[in-house]
Structure 1
Amino acid sequence: MRGGLHRYSHWLRVSDNPLVQLRLFPLKALAMSDTPTPTARASGLPTVGVIYNPRSHRNKGQDLASDPAPHVFVAQPGARDQLPVALERFKQRGIDLLVINGGDGTVRDALTAGHAIFGEDWPAVAVLPKGKTNALTVDLDAPSEWSLQGAIDAFRDGRRIPRRPLSITPIAGEAPPMLGFILGAGAFTLGISKGQDAHRLGAFNSLAVGVTTVWGVLTALMGRADNPWRRGSKMDIRVGEAGEPFPRSQIGDSAYRQLLLASTLERFPAGIMPFGKLTQGLKIAVIDHATRSILLRLPLILRGKLPEEMEAKGMHQRAVESFTLNIDDSFILDGEAYPGGKYGIAPGPEIEFVAPK
């Protein structure tokens, strides 16, 4: 939840219909309870907590409409550090379903804040795709116009899709882990910047991915050796508890990698397949150096067709249990930059995501 989340200082009914009791509450105003809402339990309805980000690209407020719902509670935190308070109160309410209304960044912030609260025992989670980028909901096959009522219906009648977000933990210090689904470094960091430019031009989701990819290929093909798209970032990648060095070709400066991408998602926007035929678990894709041989084959690579000779030419795809990343430059987690340093990356808690049939 970046920057401008608005803070509500009063209770607000979002419908003139007195039966629709969806309410945006200030974090100090919700009375605490150690038990779930009795009316919800008696009716067999799920108790639902909603994290609502009004600054997400596609949020207009109308997506909060649902059937009569005294069992639905909506939190609109005024700042990122209020998320743990809202989630703790949801836990005390005994929620069965957590609905995250926003884009990838809102999902990242909610999962990160909730990790210390729910641990390995999360409620079911549904994501309403309201951001500029919604990669997780592409993987979950959630419709772009999915509503709160649709998510509640899917909790009862839809599919449950288990996913484990990445858990990124600083090696030094005592900072808690961050949870997210797509980690990138090197040229990926510049790609996110170009993706923001694409957003300003009106391109979102899959179209923004396409704009960024085309720009990166053209810049790397025509750019000089000192072009940041071609230079990459200084990083060291070690795999597993033993810390085995991640494979590297003999091409380019051995201290640098041009691009790193890691994720636990199984499907990606625009139909790209950055990890080839690898789908399950934690996956890494790395380009050592942007040779023209790799860049000219990039359309094939993004469609999941990696020629065998590309390994020796500096393109690697691996499924791993965990890895450490020691990087000088910043890296990107679900659209936001984080400072360089040494981090441990592994699959986080398994969460059941709700999706329509």
Structure 2
Amino acid sequence: MARVALLSNPRSTGNRSLLPRVRSFCAEHRDIFHYEVEQVDQIGQALRTIARVKPKVLVINGGDGTVQAALTELYHGGHFGANPPPVAVLPNGKTNLIALDLGAGGDPIAALERVLELARTDMVPHIVSRELISLTHGSASGRPVLGMFLGGAGLADTILFCRHKIYPLGLPNGFSHLLTALATLISLLLGIKGAFLPPSPRPVRVSVLKHGEHQGRFSLLMVTTLERLLLGSHMPDRAALGGGALQLIMVERSPMALLRAVVAAVLGKLGRDKLTGVFFERGDEIRIEGDRSSVILDGELFEANVDRPIVLKPTAPVPFLRLAA
């Protein structure tokens, strides 16, 4: 039995330089079963094969799209029966939010070493449960797409601007994100429009089951089941916001509202106090409607329309491996 199964996507941007080190590390450790896919549509077959070796931990090594596709297939495919192994995510994508939430920041090889170290123990103190976000377009047909972080409104527009305008420049990730943040601030503060700046967010209507709705233009719309948020802040516990599994944050398109949210996040108080123009809620069903308003779930793009809203619900808890002590 392999202690660790590693699923890698060689085509992800981070693996262009990382994968040779990963292959060398796996060659030196016989208790790692390494499976590489060339396309995300091969992940189903990969997990069927991995299930046969009965690993104690499943590690995903790829970008946001690889993680999202693997989580969807892991949950819906049933390849491991009723007891899937806990999932760990190497810090390899552009944003790494899931990896960071699980304590896997820094060097991916160091994170893989930590996974292998934990897999040689009973792991119980390091296993945590997280619900996934199940996304549909309000129809019972078709398989829902699963993930852990959704960005919409101005946040989605900013992500797409960074993806299409900044990343192609070949700059380091940190500098790319800084340029994107500056362009977003210039657009927000000065009201300037142009191809070199993110577009103004479209109006959206967001309704939370049993909690009411919000309508307008928002510089940030985020739904997540992660505990760690932007700038190291954390969402309040379930009891404080009504007990739902889905965590919603929205910030009105206003310089002052955004400033209040950023300051609260830096101070670790985001979600603890009421702030004008900043909304926090928890729920078990969230609907997003708009006029072709983009939302991005773990790297995959979707579109919310008035007659075809995005519907978000939580799944049953899935086990993950937390690498931090």
Q: What are the equivalent positions in structure 2 for 1:293-304 lying under 5 Å apart? A: 293-303=256-266, 304=268
Alignment check: 8 A CA contact 1:138 1:269 kept: no
Higher Cα Rg, which structure? 1
> 2:236 maps to what in 1?
278
**Aligned pair partner of 1:238 in 207, 211, 226:** 207
Aligned residues: 298
Structure 1 portions without partners, runs of 5+: 1-39, 249-253
In the TM superposition, residue 238 of structure 1 has moved relative to its aligned partner by 1.9
Alignment check: 8 A CA contact 1:67 1:149 kept: no
Q: Which stretch of structure 1 is more off in the superposition, 255-264 or 105-114?
A: 255-264
Tell me which amino acid in the other structure corresponds to 1:160. I
Alignment check: 8 A CA contact 1:192 1:335 kept: no
Tell me which amino acid in the other structure corresponds to 1:342. P
In the TM superposition, residue 187 of structure 1 has moved relative to its aligned partner by 0.8
User: What SS class does the counterpart of residue 13 from structure 2 fall into?
Assistant: coil
Alignment check: 8 A CA contact 1:278 1:319 kept: no
Q: TM-score, normalization: structure 2?
A: 0.78
What are the Cα deviations for residues 33-79 of structure 1, in whole angstroms up to 9, with x where unaligned? Answer: xxxxxxx3xxxx62x32211112233232123147655543222232
Alignment check: 8 A CA contact 1:230 1:258 kept: no
What are the Cα deviations for residues 1-33 of structure 1, in whole angstroms up to 9, with x where unaligned? Answer: xxxxxxxxxxxxxxxxxxxxxxxxxxxxxxxxx
User: What SS class does the counterpart of residue 61 from structure 1 fall into?
Assistant: helix
> 1:124 maps to what in 2?
86
Q: Is the alpha carbon distance of 1:88 and 1:229 closer, same or farther for their aligned partners in structure 2, counting shifts above 3 Å?
A: same
Alignment check: 8 A CA contact 1:232 1:257 kept: yes
In the TM superposition, residue 345 of structure 1 has moved relative to its aligned partner by 1.1
**Aligned pair partner of 1:153 in 117, 129, 135:** 117
- Structure 2 distance, partners of 1:277, 1:168, is 21
Q: TM-score, normalization: structure 1?
A: 0.72
Tell me which amino acid in the other structure corresponds to 1:82. Q
Q: Is the alpha carbon distance of 1:169 and 1:163 closer, same or farther for their aligned partners in structure 2, counting shifts above 3 Å?
A: same
In the TM superposition, residue 309 of structure 1 has moved relative to its aligned partner by 6.8
Matched, 1:50 2:6: yes
Matched, 1:215 2:171: no
User: What SS class does the counterpart of residue 115 from structure 1 fall into?
Assistant: helix
> Which has the larger helix fraction?
2
What are the Cα deviations for residues 219-255 of structure 1, in whole angstroms up to 9, with x where unaligned? Answer: 1110159999684223222212x5x532x4xxxxx45
Tell me which amino acid in the other structure corresponds to 1:235. V
- Structure 1 distance, partners of 2:296, 2:264, is 22
**Aligned pair partner of 1:345 in 312, 315, 323:** 312
> 1:177 maps to what in 2?
144
Tell me which amino acid in the other structure corresponds to 2:203. K
What are the Cα deviations for residues 87-145 of structure 1, in whole angstroms up to 9, with x where unaligned? Answer: 12222433322111123222111101222123864211121112222111111111422
> 2:71 maps to what in 1?
111
Q: Which stretch of structure 1 is more off in the superposition, 101-110 or 90-99?
A: 90-99
User: What SS class does the counterpart of residue 232 from structure 1 fall into?
Assistant: coil
